[in-house]
Chains A and B, each alone.
Chain A
Amino acid sequence: MVRAEALDAMEFPELSNQFRVQGVPQTVINSGGGIVVGAYPEAQMLAEVRRAMGA
């Protein structure tokens, strides 16, 4: 049910452009359902994932 990918932003410019990656790390939740720029603490990241999933 959960998949996680780390992607080299430089090697996959099409995806980086699609999600407007300007700084790293940037986490894209469900292909744009949510976008988190920067390294968030676990609790905040969880809140963003919940929000993106409408949970």
Chain B
Amino acid sequence: MPYTAATVQLLSPEGTLVHSDASEQYLPYVDKLSDDVLQEFHRHMVVMRRFDIEAANLQRQGQLALWIPSHGQEAAQVGSALAAKPHDHIFPAYREHVIARIRGVDPVTILAMLRGISHGGWDPKEHNNFHLYTLVIGSQTLHATGFAMGLGLDGLVGTGDPGKDTAVMVYFGDGSTSQGDVSEAMVFAASYQTPQVFFLQNNHWAISVPVSRQSRTPLYLRGEGFGIPSVQIDGNDVLASFAVSTANLDAARAGEGPRFIEALTYRMGAHTTSDDPSKYRAESELEFWAQRDPIARFETFLRGRGASQAFFDEIASEGDDLAADIRKRILELEVPESSTLFDHVYSDPHPTMDAQRKALADFEASFEEGQ
């Protein structure tokens, strides 16, 4: 049982609001939410779970080299993503597909990476400050911290002007907490009192290695050790994810320094389609977390507030439409021209790129001439 009395949970697995010492300060954030907003939370979770299933199918059918499932982590991602303001900056790891879509990244752009078409390629400035995925574990935490240092130098922190004050949210996983970069990021963040929130999705498995191999202490206590106020939440509770992220992003924007949130969640599927979880984890553990599913409990909650069956039918249908749409468009993606190899290695003109671009073009042309 990973939860303790300190774990912030606002919505129980049974779908009822939780009143506890840990939850009390965060419940007001939920009280302010309209039914429409709450239903948006649900829509994002349901639609993206459908997307996730379709992407895994595409991989199994040979259309993607790999898929990175996010099944089970929808509440941690949707709640925190909707807590961020449009001008905040988000640095993802590589499993934050729900957040990518919320910030305006076309899901097909994500799939293109896994089809071998690109290494990302979107411009964060044109996608609501959602930065590229980072596959080297934990590297992005330093980029986020440096970016947040820049916000501080720019005077975009603690001015009291909600249009100006900006925060950075960086996502990382339980495995990454063993990487030196994550510790260095917390050292720099604490030292320069950066406006940022470290959002740890503890999904309990780093491929096949359990979180117990990474840490003997609850991971949110790591943040405390660096002098960063830290909190552990039920990451399968979208309300806790939203409320605690909102409170901590507000503190970061106000100039109170960095914050750390550990969201306890669970990777219901494989790390990627390349591994087989049945080799390393017990069925009983999966069952434990299935009973704490983020979508099921939130559906119960919404039905209790009077959400109609028509709403649930509509979002299921929206998910199916998205699945059909991505299936169609992924198959239409074209392989980039060979000369694009050289296009963006450097920003300024570079003689080696010019020479090799020409050499490749001449080589390819030599075949055409021979026909």
Say whether A associates with B. no
